[in-house]
Amino acid sequence: MAAGFGGRAARAGRATASRPGIPEARPAFTAHDHDRHDLDRHRLDRHDRNRRRLMAGASAPASLAALPGIARAVPGPGDDAPVTARVALTVNGVRREIDLDLRTSLLDAMREHLHLTGSKKGCDHGQCGACTMIVNGRRINGCLTLAVMHQGAEITTIEGLGQPDALHPLQAAFVTHDGYQCGYCTPGQICSGVAVLEEIRAGIPSHATGDLTRPPELSEAEIRERMSGNLCRCGAYSNIVEAMTDYAEQASGSRA
């Protein structure tokens, strides 16, 4: 096995040793040469990696700057104050003007700036309906829209529908039929319910409307479909439907 590792060098040594005046042959590649070669290759590899890393880091900002569609942060003059605008709204019959950050949602404008905390922040993703309010006669999720988008709009929150000593008829129906348990979703349920009944009276169809050539009927299926965007974790859905049906019948009787 020893002959296998150094065969050529050993044979060269034996061939020259018998000839006077001829220097002894040196192995072509010794173990020391192997070590030095490995060290040099390691240094070259490390140098190459560092060079490539440096070039990549230096070229990245330049390549990004060359792309026309890339948004880049521009440092300001040292002031991080948000951009604001004066927004005029008619809230519950009262004209209000407030200076708002352009990113302020309508829900936060009501709760944090006008201190109308009846509208609740549930999911903040437009999926639960707890923030429902009525804007220009249509129900919307206050968490999904910016306040500046509703300049001059008429907004009704739960505070504008009724007060403890003068309940809205639908609020009274919720009390009569136990249309709530914890009550967190109730303001959104009632605002949505008032708008739903107006939609049905206006003849606006829904997915549950069977015949689009005729006005929608005030049925349990219609109410459940139209109220499906308002979630109640307590599960008071049947009581809510009863309260809305009772209120609708009372309103129809009073109009007749």
pLDDT the model gives residue 80: 74
pLDDT of 252 = 76
pLDDT at residue 183, rounded to an integer: 95
- Residues of the chain below pLDDT 50: 1-17
Residues 229-245 have pLDDT tens digits of 999 999 999 999 999 99
Q: Which two three-digit tokens encode residue 181?
A: 């348990």
Q: What is the 3-state secondary structure (H, E, C) of the chain?
A: CHHHHHHHHHHHHHHHHCCCCCCCCCCCCCHHHHHHHHHHHHHHHHHHHHHHHHHHHHHHHHHHHHCCCCCCCCCCCCCCCCCEEEEEEEECCEEEEEEEECCCEHHHHHHHHCCCCCCCCCCCCCCCCCCEEEECCEEEEHHHCEHHHHCCCEEECHHHHCECCECCHHHHHHHHCCCCCCCCCHHHHHHHHHHHHHHHHCCCCCCCCCCCCCCCCCCHHHHHHHCCCCCCCCCCHHHHHHHHHHHHHHHHHHHC
Q: What tens digit of pLDDT does each residue of 159-170 get? A: 999 999 999 999
The CATH architecture to which 162-255 belongs is Orthogonal Bundle (1.10)
- Class of domain 84-159 as given by CATH: alpha beta
Q: What is the pLDDT of residue 19?
A: 54
pLDDT of residue 9: 45
Domain boundaries, the chain: 84-159, 162-255
